[in-house]
Amino acid sequence: MALPQLIPSHSSSSLTHQPSINPNAPNPSLLNLNFKPFSKSSSLSQSRRFHRLSSFRCSASSFPEKHHTNHPKSDDVVELPLFPLPLVLFPGAILPLQIFEFRYRIMMHTLLHTDLRFGVIYSDAVSGTAEVGCVGEIVKHERLVDDRFFLICKGQERFRVTNIVRTKPYLVAEVNWLEDRPSGDEDLEGLANEVESYMKDVIRLSNRLNGKPEKEAQDLRRNLFPTPFSFFVGSTFEGAPREQQALLELEDTAARLKREKETLRNTLNYLSAASAVKDVFPSSG
């Protein structure tokens, strides 16, 4: 059953499609020549082997309550292997991948003997490759007999590409780290609570329109501070990668939460109108 259409804020009106929002944030769709999603056509033995790895889900509990105390300094410049993908990874989010293209298998062999970290950066045929991405850290992996890899990665620090070091056998760039600037006198807790409230209403109305029980949504924040919560919210905007990329690039927690609040409010208005039409014309649902 389809989830409600995401109605982006005015600042994201350049989106060329009307994507969907997934408040429960299951694993993103993986559509790229460089890797495959796990499909029903996979062998039973592979499915059983990977079952242990696929127990991870992108939920609020995946996101740390605080940033790492050993967070790299924003002016540090390091070299990072990059994996361009048609999706956006947020800090704290969980991403499953199946690696089979030769150059990325080379990358995985290197990473598994070093620090297990690489850069996930959004890329599509229209907008090209973004300059801002998120580090993916390999937390579980399985190497198959044909040298493919099953991976579970978790989003860590954000980065900005400053220089391309090389493009073969895979992309490597110099990057520096991004951190949110102080939000001044903004009431971040209040903004986060408002965003959570809108998310709950979107989930409730979505369930109603889809014929599901209108259960009260669970605690979506789960003790998350505003910044990691803003990343969690962005990770639920599946199907809207350009909007997600815009959220990832913001360096102000308050601005990110406000943009998410506007998007959720627009979506809620759309759902409320659809619900009213369904009440008047039940057969139109």
Mean pLDDT in order along the chain per 10 residues (285 residues):
50 36 36 31 37 41 52 76 97 95 93 94 94 97 90 97 96 97 93 96 88 79 95 94 97 98 94 79 61
Q: Are strands 77-85 and 128-143 parallel, antiparallel or unpaired?
A: unpaired
CA 258 to chain centre: 18
Same structural domain for residues 219 and 160?
no
Same structural domain for residues 107 and 145?
yes
**Given 158, 177, 196, which residue is the final one in a domain?**
177
CA–CA dist 180, 251 (Å, integer): 4
Number of domains observed in the structure of the chain: 2
Same structural domain for residues 104 and 154?
yes
Q: Judge whether 118 lies within some domain.
A: yes
Q: Judge whether 163 lies within some domain.
A: yes
Per-residue confidence (pLDDT) for residue 9, from 0 to 100: 62
Q: Judge whether 233 lies within some domain.
A: yes
Q: Judge whether 147 lies within some domain.
A: yes
Same structural domain for residues 82 and 144?
yes
Per-residue confidence (pLDDT) for residue 46, from 0 to 100: 40
CA 24 to chain centre: 12
CA–CA dist 239, 73 (Å, integer): 32
CA 66 to chain centre: 18
Owning domain of residue 159:
78-177
Check if the beta carbon of residue 235 is closer than 8 Å to that of residue 90: yes
CB atoms within 10 A of CB 83: 23
Q: Judge whether 44 lies within some domain.
A: no
Same structural domain for residues 167 and 215?
no
CA–CA dist 6, 255 (Å, integer): 19
Q: Judge whether 102 lies within some domain.
A: yes
**Closest by Cα among 162, 160, 141 to 150:** 141
Per-residue confidence (pLDDT) for residue 99, from 0 to 100: 93
Same structural domain for residues 173 and 90?
yes
Q: Judge whether 117 lies within some domain.
A: yes
Per-residue confidence (pLDDT) for residue 268, from 0 to 100: 93
CA–CA dist 263, 8 (Å, integer): 5
Coil, helix or strand for 122? strand
Query: Dihedral of CA 36/39/44/48: which sign?
Result: positive
Same structural domain for residues 85 and 155?
yes
Tokens 């990832």 found at: 248
Per-residue confidence (pLDDT) for residue 71, from 0 to 100: 56
Burial class (CB in 10 A: 0-12, 13-18, 19+), 8: buried
Helices (H) and strands (E) in the chain — how many of each?
6, 6
Q: Tell me the CA distances in angstroms from 191 to 172, 181, 237, 255, one per residue in order.
A: 37, 16, 18, 10
Listed in sequence order, the residues at least 6 apart from 34 whose beta carbon sits closer than 8 Å to its beta carbon are 83, 84, 85, 99, 101, 104
Per-residue confidence (pLDDT) for residue 69, from 0 to 100: 39
**Given 145, 177, 209, which residue is the final one in a domain?**
177
Same structural domain for residues 165 and 197?
no
Per-residue confidence (pLDDT) for residue 57, from 0 to 100: 39
**Given 177, 203, 236, which residue is the final one in a domain?**
177
Tokens 């008047």 found at: 280
Same structural domain for residues 151 and 209?
no
Same structural domain for residues 194 and 255?
yes
Per-residue confidence (pLDDT) for residue 207, from 0 to 100: 87
CA 64 to chain centre: 15
Per-residue confidence (pLDDT) for residue 248, from 0 to 100: 98
Same structural domain for residues 144 and 198?
no
Q: Judge whether 38 lies within some domain.
A: no
